[in-house]
Structure 1
Amino acid sequence: MNIGFTYDLKDDYLRSGYSDLEVAEFDSIETVEGVESALKSMGYTVDRIGSARDLIQRLCRGDRWDLVFNIAEGIRGIGREAQVPAILDVYNIPYVFSDPLVFSVTLHKGMAKRIVRDGGVKTPDFQIIRSEEDVWHIKLPFPLFAKPLAEGTGKGIGAKSVVHSQEELSVVSKNLLDRYQQPVLVERFLPGREFTVGITGSGSRGQVVGVMEICFLPDAASEIYGLVNKKNYQDFVRYRVPEQSVYDACAEMALKAWCLLECRDGGRIDIRHNENGEPEFIEVNPLAGLHPIESDLPILARLNGVSYENLIGRIMESARLRIFGDASHE
């Protein structure tokens, strides 16, 4: 089977003048090589395509693939993660991971929270700030947590994300509005333990790969799993598998949210305990990082006895079952 491989290579964008922050979500060559190697070990032929622009050029030349393994993040806009899937839909080429609707809805953290809340999954109350004036209309009890509405990889999240007054919220929101040029999600702050849950499969075939607790070390930049702590996880964070009762509660919530949002093939769901030790949905990442060593999904898989190759195999099995009705490699 001929597998096309779409991705946004970080180094290419840095050479084109983009900043480290702008391309923080993009993939390193180690990720590209890791995914490619795993796919080849399963007997697939892999054709590196690259970004959405590269895909368009290849399609215009007449190139086609049996299936596309898509991890391209897109460069701008609330629908940036949906760009490659939308292009492939136009050409009726099947692909791994979620469709344009799922990627657009889940990147908009407020929309995702509305869907899971309506489906009975507990999530912190929230409001959205679209201008500086909106700050003074926030009616949620402090402390609150503020972050960009549509970013990943912990961008815009850190110690200052936890705010304790209207004045603090005004300063933090103005900085986020100016820096990221998008609305700010403000939600009730959850003071408890933090977890991320890995899932493969689609719909009723969804399976939990594992649950991982994020434990902050004394030297951590903050007890918030933001960009600084993620980039320096070896110095600031320790990961562990939680006790069975917590594992089961997180797994159950994550699977329900995964199904409600109609995510496909593989990804992560972030959960945090409230003041009563109860899990609440924070957000979903249906396009989770796949760096073999440093990304959360492969890390939690290893902690739970699942190798990187097995993880990619589970993702491919889900896609094949969903698209072709079988999981064979021929």
Structure 2
Amino acid sequence: MVYTENMRIAVVYSLPSSRMLKTKFASADEDTGYIAKKVADGLGARGHVVEVYPVTEESIDEIRGIKTDCIFNLIEWCGLDISLSERAFEMMRATNIPVTGSSEELFVLTGDKIRMKKALKDADVTTPWGVGVKNVDEIPEFIPYPVIVKPHLEHCSIGLSSNVVVYNRAKLVEVVKRQVAEFEQDVLIEEFIAGRELLVYLIEEKGRAKILPIVEMLFEGGDPMSFQTYDAKWTEGSLDYKNTYYEQAKLTNAQQKALEENCLRAFNTLGFWGYARLDVRMRDAVP
């Protein structure tokens, strides 16, 4: 397909599932509508004819009836709702219309922290030690404390708070039990990287990925053990939210080079397309 000015573009986005609306984490999916509006406004300002399609779990099949030149895909059901996204991808394929973003296979992969960690390791991308477990009986003897315990299928910092970083086995057993029970899924036990937290945005132009200015997430007090919790991202008025802010990262040439090499290797080796964001922790100049 040749991309031209004045294209007809359908911005297709997911609304929170009925399951998610019953949880305290619905905010993580409600912002997709805001993003869809921003995307539509930006495309419209460039002369394209844009229609916005909010999709519920009941209306997924209606995607197949969309008539347009290009679908801008903002379907973002993750976690226990991943099957909804898989149905949406199926309907988009049925339209035979070009779709933005990465493939269904890569979308599903990036939504699974355990599988994604293995894929990064196989791609020779530096990544912290980690292991997936179904229950406390699977916790290995060797643990490089401190570690953080993450629900392996969740997104948007769901399940992340300061009390999921642990320093000893007794606490690890307690947190693994709690996370598995609350989120009804396996968890990733991962070495916690004390240091800086960076957001690396990549965009592809003419078949080549490039890195945009890197953003650093900063925390009041500068504690290297701080990180973006769910409250820091979504709960306005919370202490974490008030104490978290962003600015363009100040990096040495060596730090910039290491970040670029690692993130470009991940983008190119794993088959990302169009655009991506990688969240990176950096310790002692090593991403």
Report the TM range for the smaller structure's normalisation.
Answer: 0.7 to 0.9
- How far the C-alpha of 1:216 sits from its partner, in A, is 0.5
- The answer to which of 98-107 and 24-33 deviates more is 24-33
SS in 2 for 1:96: coil
SS in 1 for 2:281: strand
Listed one character per residue, the Cα deviations across residues 165-193 of structure 1 (whole Å, up to 9, x for unaligned) are 11111111111111111110111121111
SS in 2 for 1:24: helix
- How far the C-alpha of 1:143 sits from its partner, in A, is 1.3
Q: Which residue pairs with 1:7 in the alignment?
A: 13
What amino acid is the match of 2:277? R
SS in 1 for 2:198: strand
Contact 1:127 1:185 in 2 (8 A): yes
Identity of aligned residues (%): 23
TM-score (norm 2): 0.85
Supply the RMSD in Å over aligned alpha carbons.
2.6
CA 1:192 to 1:63, structure 2 compared with 1: closer, same or farther past 3 Å? closer
Q: Which residue pairs with 1:286 in the alignment?
A: none
Contact 1:219 1:235 in 2 (8 A): no
SS in 2 for 1:121: coil
SS in 2 for 1:95: coil
- How far the C-alpha of 1:106 sits from its partner, in A, is 1.1
SS in 2 for 1:123: coil
Listed one character per residue, the Cα deviations across residues 104-132 of structure 1 (whole Å, up to 9, x for unaligned) are 11111121121221121111111101123
- The answer to which of 125-134 and 227-236 deviates more is 227-236
Structure 2 unpaired stretches of 5+: 1-6
Q: Does 1:235 align with 2:238?
A: no
Q: Which residue pairs with 2:22 in the alignment?
A: 18
TM-score (norm 1): 0.74
Q: Which residue pairs with 1:307 in the alignment?
A: none
- Find the partner of 2:154 among 151, 173, 188: 151
- Find the partner of 1:56 among 58, 61, 76: 61
- How far the C-alpha of 1:205 sits from its partner, in A, is 1.1
Cα distance in 2 between the residues matched to 1:278 and 1:116: 15
- Find the partner of 2:185 among 182, 185, 189: 182
SS in 2 for 1:4: strand
- The answer to which of 43-52 and 80-89 deviates more is 80-89
Q: Which residue pairs with 1:261 in the alignment?
A: 270
Cα distance in 2 between the residues matched to 1:252 and 1:82: 31
SS in 2 for 1:278: coil
Q: Which residue pairs with 1:44 in the alignment?
A: 48
Aligned length: 272
- How far the C-alpha of 1:53 sits from its partner, in A, is 4.0
Q: Which residue pairs with 2:71 in the alignment?
A: 68
- How far the C-alpha of 1:202 sits from its partner, in A, is 7.5
Q: How does 1:248-327 map to 2 (within 5 A)?
A: 248-274=257-283, 276-279=284-287
Contact 1:195 1:213 in 2 (8 A): yes
Q: Which residue pairs with 1:282 in the alignment?
A: none
SS in 2 for 1:218: coil
